[in-house]
Structure 1
Amino acid sequence: MGDASRCAQLVVTELLGAGVQEVVLCPGSRSAPLAYELFEADKIGLLRLHVRLDERTAGFLALGLAKAAESPVAVVTTSGTATANLHPAVLEAFHSHIPLVAMTADRPRAARHAGGNQTTDQAGLFRNHVRAETQIDDTPTTPRSWRFELGRVLTAAVGTRSGTPGPVHVNLSFSEPLVPGVESAPIQPELQVTPRPLGHAPVVLPTGPQTLVVAGALTPSAGAAARAFAEQADLPLLAEPVSNARGGSHALATGRLLLRTGLGEEIERVVMFGHPTLARPVMRLLGREDVELVVVSPYGEWIDPGTNARLVANAVALDRVRDGWRERWTEADEAMSVRLQEVLDGLAYLSGPVVAARLWSALGAADTLVVGSSSPVRDLDLAPVSETPPTVYANRGLAGIDGTVSTAVGVGLVVERPTHALMGDETFLHDTTGLIVGRHEQRPDLRIVVANDNGGAIFATLEHGHPVHSGAYERIFGTPHDVDLERLATATGAGYRRVETGEDLSEVLAEPPLGIEVVEAVIDRRLRRTLDNEIGSLTVAV
């Protein structure tokens, strides 16, 4: 059992000891160690577990439970924006003297300011509105300190010593592995970084090292600069779909798959623009000690998910490379794209990658696309590269699913041209109030393509989707909701279309959106893990 699982087990034991009999859980990967322990406790009747999709709803459900039971109730979320959605319930609990225990999962402390995905400073998030708070790190393993901190805040929640009960906050930093029954990952050594002052001339990089350009989330202008750098230096460009750099002859459609081939092993230097968040192979590359990482950032603070940067600069320059390195990547990408298309064409059902590819291929430079987090943005990461891709917007700062519909409405109102959005069903349901626009308010021409697999397909592609966890998976990760999207959309005055094939979707996309439209693309997540494994195992000669 890893440190995260040991810590989670002790946390649940302490909750039970403090009289907690009701716990509300929202699905998430970083909070998985707690989810597994709560699932087991619920199975044997030690507590009652309630699973909800929306953290704001979960917070108020826990508040109601605590009010009626007159005893502490815990609510568990994953990291990032999910934690902030508890704030309204925490405020109400504070002013009502309700013993609400907010338990927020977090990344390890070392990742907090390095730009790790869904990582922000959660410690002290509710500081002025809780009776007590604590930070618990699962490494090094210190059960005595865990018990002390939990006892302190749970005592504060019920007001045993103060006479003033109220909400408390327990922020739990869990390190991988996040599933039971596997060993902990080794600790990585520290590296020295050299930040250059802002405003200085571009740093000229020496030629020689085999270099890959990685572009994460970027503004349109910054994305154009990343693409221009790769093309000027004649380097392969691994650009996420939200980078606004994923176009032209140097961008790779299957870059994350090629990192698993021999080409990936040959990389000696990475020049990173923006905030990459999508692919684990990219994260592993950015953390490799044998790779020189150069971070290009216009901000005083910089992103370094692998905590491996050797140089940070606001701009870089590199003489054109003429050694055939980029051509090898381009040839491998073309071959891998053929293999990928063969897999997708062979599917007897509509899949997330097909929905994403059809949408991406239907849009051009005059179009705008807003992308939701979770599976859809990763599916876009394998879509074909075009010379003139759309302008892309996404909430990738914390990669949460919150407010995506409202974000798309806002973007559409500003660009004042037909806008598309791609998101999963849980992301869509998380912000259905974004569809409500008053009769006197302006409405954008916005088509929302909802890849509806009736639950959380993203978790099937992670370790939680392994068959060994099948007993718990559907309840605490799959979370099927069975919502009728047509009734939901039409109730708000939005248009509605349902598609079940790629051809149907392309037919809808052939016409521009008019007003707010919802297109429900019905996909099947039962084989999502199998498909992901098949795609991940594709190989080509390099």
Structure 2
Amino acid sequence: MSATAAARAIVTALAAAGVRDVVVSPGSRSAPFAYAVAGAEEAGWLRAHVRLDERGAGFMAVGLARAAHRGGAPRPVAVVTTSGTAVANLHPAVLEASHSGLPLVLVTADRPHEFRGTGANQTTTQSGIFGPAVRAALDLPAGVPAAAVPGHVTRLVAAALGTISSDPGPVHLNVALREPLAPPDRWVPGRLPAGVPVTPPAPPPPLTLAAGLRTVVVAGDGAGAAAAAVARAGGWPLLAEPTSGARLPGAIVHYQALLAAGLGERAERVVVFGHPTLSRPVSALLARADAEVVVVGAGPRWTDVAGVATAVAGAVAPEPPAASDRRWAEAWQRADADLEDGWEPSGLEGAARLLWGTAGAAPLVLGSSNVVRAVDMAARPAPVRAHANRGLAGIDGTLATAIGLAAGVGTPVRAVVGDLTFLHDAGSLARGATEPAVDLQVVVLNDGGGGIFASLEYGAHPDRATFRRFFTTPQAVDLAPLARAYGGRHTLAELPALARLGPPGPGSGLHVVEVPIDVAEFVRSRRRLVARALDVVARHLTAGSQDS
């Protein structure tokens, strides 16, 4: 089978298996795929997205996969690259997709097997390059029979979706292609063939959770609305991170401070959904060996860092709440309300609360480090659909993820990031002259470097020069001309002006809003809140909640 025939067969099989978005980075060895994807797009089988940089392409695919998951019907997203370093540049996105359970199909063009290990140009060992980060990998030799392609692709897509394994994530299809690489004719695909149906196993029955135990529900990243439903059904406090999909009315806003003040020490059971990553108090709660820790997750990669889980279940069903359950939940609600009353947020927390509350229907993408933590500390419960790359919690690829999300949902998106997160991925704002623009509002909370380190032990170290140079690493970059270079608008806004910033609208294009932030104020605010929480928790415990 020629390189052109192989590419057409693989693209056909991908589309038949449910792939509707393919991100392509340009290259020579991958040329047969470029032509095949273009033909499939013209036939209406899928959408193509062309990105210059493979790292940005990988994270755009992450955003597209998040968009499909947001719609309730996870779909695999394919990424096509040429050979050599292009493949390695996918690795950060592959790791994020692996730890977030996102179904990416990595299609990498390669030299024929006889060129490997000979010193041939742009030839390296691509097979197995992603190691255990992929759920499955296949190295297709040049000239593989066409009849074998659909079965291989079906198996890979099923592995990416976790249809059988309940363990979704990226898969790797490495394809050796011999010259000629340019097609001899124009491909005009006909009707899309039907894919091979793969039926998942039946889910197990839910685990029943008895009433009467002081229980808290922790909803980490990607937990979903099921966490809120369980907390509601059991009458239990809900501690929901902003990207959990469960920070809905009734959730505890200041749960981090209340945990740090010791209210969680009275919990007898912790029910965990998703992937909690944002606070040490939550990590300490999940590490308690003197409480039941029930982890809810359908797949094999459940969160149990301390190894103390007493049960792991695909789903749970609480018994109707007892009176003691209600008293326990009311104690948390009262303590949360007392903390909120008179709380004076820092500028970062105030901005986070405002940007969360004014997102409207626009999906919200949150950068790592201080941004997502400030939102976690300040955001009032509301049906905001927030996303963040919390699989490995890196700052790389955040803007590309937001662009992919915007392309996937077809609506404007607001991204809130720090200055280093913005600069780390600014190249992803580059758009090909023939590619459609997305409507993306990027709010840069500029604290002059890596402010997250100020809240860690290094922030109190007396060697301030080393701290500034090696940790916060402030950058000498003017964001205004940078934004304009990528075809966007730039607005420098002080904190009071944020109240007038509406959500991004259709046709707004790229708008970078830069907001100066004092990170030291944020650190002081966190400490003041915990000090107040100690007083609040002590008062509530002595006021009669001991029997809760």
Return the alpha-carbon distance in structure 2 between the equivalents of residues 526 and 498 of structure 1: 21
Q: Deviations over 1:353-387 (max 9, x none)?
A: 111111011124x331011111000000012423x
1:218-257 alignment, distance < 5 Å: 218=222, 222-249=223-250, 251-257=251-257
CA spacing shift, 1:441–1:511, aligned 2, 3 Å = closer
Return the alpha-carbon distance in structure 1 between the equivalents of residues 306 and 502 of structure 2: 39
Question: 3-state SS of the aligned residue for 2:491?
Answer: strand
The answer to whether 1:509 aligns with 2:513 is no
Return the alpha-carbon distance in structure 2 between the equivalents of residues 198 and 293 of structure 1: 25
Displacement after TM superposition at 1:495 (Å) = 1.5
CA spacing shift, 1:526–1:257, aligned 2, 3 Å = closer
Question: 3-state SS of the aligned residue for 1:417?
Answer: coil
Q: How many residues align?
A: 346
Question: 3-state SS of the aligned residue for 2:462?
Answer: helix
Displacement after TM superposition at 1:418 (Å) = 2.0
Letter in 2 for 1:390: V
Return the alpha-carbon distance in structure 2 between the equivalents of residues 520 and 254 of structure 1: 27
1:514-533 alignment, distance < 5 Å: 514-533=508-527
Q: Deviations over 1:49-107 (max 9, x none)?
A: xxxxxxx9xxxxxxxxxxxxxxxxxxxxxxxxxxxxxx959989xxxxxxxxxxxxxxx
Return the alpha-carbon distance in structure 1 between the equivalents of residues 206 and 463 of structure 2: 50
Partner residue, 2:424: 430
Partner residue, 2:494: 500
1:446-465 alignment, distance < 5 Å: 446-465=440-459
Question: 3-state SS of the aligned residue for 1:532?
Answer: helix
Letter in 1 for 2:380: V
Partner residue, 1:308: 308
Letter in 2 for 1:332: A
Displacement after TM superposition at 1:302 (Å) = 1.3
Q: Deviations over 1:483-510 (max 9, x none)?
A: 1011110111012111112x30121226
- Contact 1:285–1:291 (CA under 8 A) maintained in structure 2: no
The answer to whether 1:289 aligns with 2:289 is yes
- Contact 1:402–1:430 (CA under 8 A) maintained in structure 2: yes
Range 404-413 or range 199-208, more displaced: 199-208
Partner residue, 1:329: 332
Percentage of pairs with the same residue = 43
Displacement after TM superposition at 1:205 (Å) = 1.5
CA spacing shift, 1:367–1:91, aligned 2, 3 Å = closer
1:164-183 alignment, distance < 5 Å: none
1:139-288 alignment, distance < 5 Å: 199-218=203-222, 222-249=223-250, 251-288=251-288
TM-score when normalising by structure 1: 0.60
Displacement after TM superposition at 1:453 (Å) = 1.0
Partner residue, 1:144: none
Displacement after TM superposition at 1:537 (Å) = 2.3
Match for residue 469 of structure 2 among 433, 457, 475 = 475
Letter in 2 for 1:307: G
Cα RMSD over matched residues? 2.7
The answer to whether 1:356 aligns with 2:349 is no
Displacement after TM superposition at 1:268 (Å) = 1.1
Displacement after TM superposition at 1:469 (Å) = 4.2
Question: 3-state SS of the aligned residue for 2:519?
Answer: coil
Return the alpha-carbon distance in structure 2 between the equivalents of residues 90 and 392 of structure 1: 30
Letter in 1 for 2:336: D
- Contact 2:441–2:504 (CA under 8 A) maintained in structure 1: no
- Contact 1:359–1:509 (CA under 8 A) maintained in structure 2: no
- Contact 2:362–2:504 (CA under 8 A) maintained in structure 1: no
Give unpaired runs (5+ residues) of structure 2.
1-54, 56-83, 90-97, 101-123, 127-200, 541-548
Return the alpha-carbon distance in structure 1 between the equivalents of residues 261 and 440 of structure 2: 40
Displacement after TM superposition at 1:419 (Å) = 1.2
Displacement after TM superposition at 1:393 (Å) = 1.4
Return the alpha-carbon distance in structure 2 between the equivalents of residues 536 and 458 of structure 1: 18
1:377-396 alignment, distance < 5 Å: 377-386=372-381, 388-396=382-390
Partner residue, 2:188: none
Range 507-516 or range 312-321, more displaced: 507-516
Q: Deviations over 1:489-540 (max 9, x none)?
A: 0111012111112x30121226636111111111122444333322332221
Return the alpha-carbon distance in structure 1 between the equivalents of residues 258 and 286 of structure 2: 15
Larger Rg computed on CA atoms: 2
Partner residue, 1:187: none
Partner residue, 1:17: none
- Contact 1:457–1:528 (CA under 8 A) maintained in structure 2: no
Letter in 1 for 2:226: A
CA spacing shift, 1:522–1:243, aligned 2, 3 Å = same
- Contact 2:357–2:379 (CA under 8 A) maintained in structure 1: yes
Give unpaired runs (5+ residues) of structure 1.
1-55, 57-86, 93-112, 116-126, 130-196
Return the alpha-carbon distance in structure 2 between the equivalents of residues 90 and 439 of structure 1: 24
Q: Deviations over 1:266-318 (max 9, x none)?
A: 11110000000001100011111112110000112212123221110000111
CA spacing shift, 1:526–1:383, aligned 2, 3 Å = closer
- Contact 1:213–1:272 (CA under 8 A) maintained in structure 2: yes
CA spacing shift, 1:511–1:367, aligned 2, 3 Å = closer
CA spacing shift, 1:430–1:266, aligned 2, 3 Å = same
1:112-131 alignment, distance < 5 Å: none
TM-score when normalising by structure 2: 0.59
Return the alpha-carbon distance in structure 1 between the equivalents of residues 523 and 462 of structure 2: 13
Partner residue, 1:31: none
Question: 3-state SS of the aligned residue for 1:312?
Answer: strand
